[in-house]
Amino acid sequence: MSSGPIGIFGGTFNPIHHGHLRSALELKQSLALDQVRLVPAAEPPLRRAPELSAEQRAELVEQAVASEPGLVCDRRELSRQGPSYTVDTLVELRTELGTDRPLCLIVGTDILERLDQWHRWEELLDFAHLVVIARPGWRMPETGRIASWVEEHGGVSADLQGSPAGLVVLQQQRQLPISATEIRDMIAAGQSPRYLLPDAVWDTIQRLGAYGAGLERQEQHGIC
């Protein structure tokens, strides 16, 4: 079996969109990752409960990655009780994949800026590297405890293969300006989000009537 690095990209994925998918694929290629595991959070600790169940959000992730073998949906957080803490996911993965394999936890800059609100956040680097996806020109915070932590553990992408965990790497790359919030708002306003997310995902959202999809049409036809 191959023993290259594995990317772990967690999120609410409410819903998954092309911003997530393109970043995951570009990182897989630029960091020579064996695969990127997209891990839907069953119960995101720092958010309101999402409109779609964890099962439904995971199903959308499955549909989104079905034709790309380098990206896989990892449903492990759905089978745990209570808040979905990333550190618990990393502990499980480390146990399954062994002590030597590099694991790269992938997060956006929005997550890095409030990482110190995460459960046992400083332990994340005991189990994985942290790869921060940043738009070109974005800079790490320069003051505060996250800044000192990043300075202490900062590395470059070429070092990721050389150790299983422990580095924070800023990866400058294209970031599509798409957010799940915008997609949900668009759907609720009766607009189509097509081309911001995979067609299969949008088709399923419409079938479920999620985020208010189809409500306008139903109202026009007196269904509601």
Looking from the CA of 4 toward its CB, the CA atoms found within 13 Å total 11
- Inter-helix orientation angle 54-65/199-208, to 10°: 150
Chosen residue from 60, 180, 187, 213 binding ligand ATP by CB under 6 A: 180
| Position 110 contacts ligand ATP (CB under 6 A) | yes
Chosen residue from 176, 194, 199, 220 binding ligand ATP by CB under 6 A: 176
Chosen residue from 5, 6, 23, 85 binding ligand ATP by CB under 6 A: 23
List CB contacts of 115: < 8 A, sequence separation 6 or more. Answer: 107, 121, 124, 146
Say how many C-beta atoms besides its own lie within 10 A of residue 155's C-beta. 16
| Position 89 contacts ligand ATP (CB under 6 A) | no
Chosen residue from 7, 102, 108, 193 binding ligand ATP by CB under 6 A: 108
| Contact yes or no for 120/87 (Cβ under 8 A) | yes
Strand duo 129-134 + 168-172: pairing: parallel
Say how many C-beta atoms besides its own lie within 10 A of residue 147's C-beta. 12
| Contact yes or no for 140/155 (Cβ under 8 A) | no
What mask of x and - would describe binding to ligand ATP in positions 117 to 136, judged by CB under 6 A? ----------------x---
| Position 84 contacts ligand ATP (CB under 6 A) | no
| Position 175 contacts ligand ATP (CB under 6 A) | yes
- Interatomic CA distance for residues 169 and 22, integer angstroms: 19
Q: How many residues bind ligand ATP (CB under 6 A)?
A: 18
Q: Which is nearer to ligand ATP, 174 or 217 (CB)?
A: 174
| Contact yes or no for 116/146 (Cβ under 8 A) | yes
| Position 193 contacts ligand ATP (CB under 6 A) | no
Q: Which is nearer to ligand ATP, 114 or 217 (CB)?
A: 114
Q: Which among 75-83, 97-105, 174-182, 215-223 is the span making contact with ligand ATP, rule CB under 6 A?
A: 174-182
| Position 7 contacts ligand ATP (CB under 6 A) | no
The residues binding ligand ATP (CB under 6 A) are 11-14, 19-20, 23, 107-108, 110-111, 133, 175-176, 178-181
